[in-house]
Amino acid sequence: MKISAAVSRPQTPAPTIETLDLEAPRAGELLVRMSASGICHTDLHAHAGRLSPLPIVLGHEGAGVVEAVGEGVQGFAPGDAVVMSGSSCGDCPNCTSGLPSYCDQAMPRNFGGQRMDGSTAFSAADGAAIHSHFFGQSSFATHSLVPQRSAVKLDPGLSPEVMAPLGCGVITGAGSVIEALRVGAGSSIAIFGVGGVGLSAVMAARLVGAERIVAIDTNPTRLELAMELGATDRFAAETPELVELIRATTGRGVNFTFNTTTSPAVFMSALECLAMRGVAGFVTAPRGDWSPPMFKMLAGGRMLRGILGGDAAPRQFLPRLIRYWSQGRFPFERLIRFYPFTAIAEAFADMAGGRVIKPVLRFN
């Protein structure tokens, strides 16, 4: 079938919308008509050719409606509303332990730009293959093929447009606090960088009853929003003596830090403001060379902890977040700004320039 998709080609500022051919769903796949797709920083990196082969259809925060199912699909039927998350095999030890973001096949399935057999779902007008299956979904398209394990069914009445960002940014922030770090009632956390992931972490920390939730960012508007969403303290990132001030919020340092930035200086601060036995969670790698302060980690029993996908299993965790949202306890819709699909270049530019927290493209 003919569909419209935003294609990332080398040396272009943003994906451009083209008409492509989409195959019929193969075994285990759903044909999804997209309602909306969030844009995440990983899409910006991938568009620049740093993660996946080009040309490719990116997008990994999709939500929409199932139009057809391939052979062997169970639990989905045409008409079902779904939200999508990453791809995983379902059989390896981490998948069977409920940690699909650490699937043994996570890299080829999410970044390989093709099915595991090397085939792709899209082709251009001239017949050339266009890479697909980015995070199992390639959601910058009016229609896409999605492995059934990447989809989570939505209850009737829920708007797929609002649910779109759950699959990456929101699950990463909230899952990191609730599932990975297991921040508990009465504990303290400092969150470095309050964009979509960091603000999801702020809301989750309030939800679990953290006593001190410290937000740090360069952007005063985002710090203001962090306070509205549950932060108890805020600091501008450039504040002198920042580490001492964060430590002083509890008198002994914080139990947890959560770093969404790539700055080596922030990685250092996030370890230095920890209390004894504190854990520094991070979701993106430091830019350039950085050596952790090993003596400080040893002497304080401090831990540096990389986290993918919030350590969360989307089938269980996303419905839980949606229940918190419908109770008014997890208002992630406040992070969203909608753009028409045709304005994808503007949305990319706004994301890169920090002018929007969570851009969501609408397809109708």
Does residue 120 touch Zn ion according to CB under 5 A?
no
Which listed residue (63, 95, 199, 204) binds Zn ion by CB under 5 A?
95
Q: Is 291 exposed, middle or buried (0-12, 13-18, 19+ CB in 10 A)?
A: exposed
The footprint of Zn ion on this chain (CB under 5 A) covers a number of residues equal to 8
Which residue, 76 or 135, is less far from Zn ion as judged by CB? 135
Does residue 40 touch Zn ion according to CB under 5 A?
yes
Residues between 300 and 319 that touch Zn ion (CB under 5 A)? none
Which listed residue (35, 85, 88, 255) binds Zn ion by CB under 5 A?
88
Look at the block and give the residue holding tokens 């390989």: 112
- d(C-alpha 283, C-alpha 243), whole Å: 20
Which residue, 103 or 191, is less far from Zn ion as judged by CB? 103
| Shortest distance (Å) from residue 196 CB to Zn ion | 9
* CA-to-CA separations, 119 to 99, 102, 113, 127, 144, in angstroms, rounded: 26, 23, 9, 13, 14
| Shortest distance (Å) from residue 69 CB to Zn ion | 22
Which listed residue (20, 63, 103, 151) binds Zn ion by CB under 5 A?
103
Does residue 150 touch Zn ion according to CB under 5 A?
no
Q: Which two tokens stand for residue 241?
A: 């003596």
Does residue 171 touch Zn ion according to CB under 5 A?
no
Does residue 42 touch Zn ion according to CB under 5 A?
yes
Does residue 197 touch Zn ion according to CB under 5 A?
no
Does residue 92 touch Zn ion according to CB under 5 A?
yes
Report helix angle 196-207 to 220-229, nearest 10: 20
Return the exposure string of 96-134: e unless at least 16 CB atoms fall within 10 Å of the residue's CB, then b: eeebbbbbebbebbbbbbbbeeeebbbeeeeeeebbbbb
Which residue, 42 or 137, is less far from Zn ion as judged by CB? 42
Nearest CA among 356, 319, 16, 274 for reference residue 154: 319
Residues forming contacts to Zn ion in the complex (CB under 5 A) are: 40, 42, 88-89, 92, 95, 103, 168
